[in-house]
Amino acid sequence: MEISDRDFSEKVLNSTKPVLVEYWASWCPPCHTIKKMLKKLDKEDTGYQIITINVDRNLINASKYDVKGIPCFMIFKQGELVYRDVGAKSEKQLRDMLTENL
């Protein structure tokens, strides 16, 4: 699910489930590949809410969380940032990231 700055608090910080947020941009080739993998994972019962946010259109959160490189992955639990990683990932790496931080 793609969100905007105005939805961030409701969809991420107030979520009852852990949330994986991917910061991306339309000009980022690895982001497009990862988007397909995230859609696949979102259809599975991973235990996570999977969210994407475009850094070019949502500068408030990109700035607040100091996103300097993309794709950037953050995991939030009960409104707290508990994990952060930057760079392209394989599907296995994404699955491992989710499993290790659940």
Which of 52, 72, 70 is closest to 12 using CA atoms? 52
Please state, in angstroms and rounded to a whole number, the distance separating the CA atoms of residues 43 and 101: 19
Q: What are phi and psi of 45, to 5 degrees?
A: -90, 80
**Residue positions annotated with a catalytic role:** 28, 31
Measure CA of the first residue to CA of the last residue in the chain; give whole Å: 19
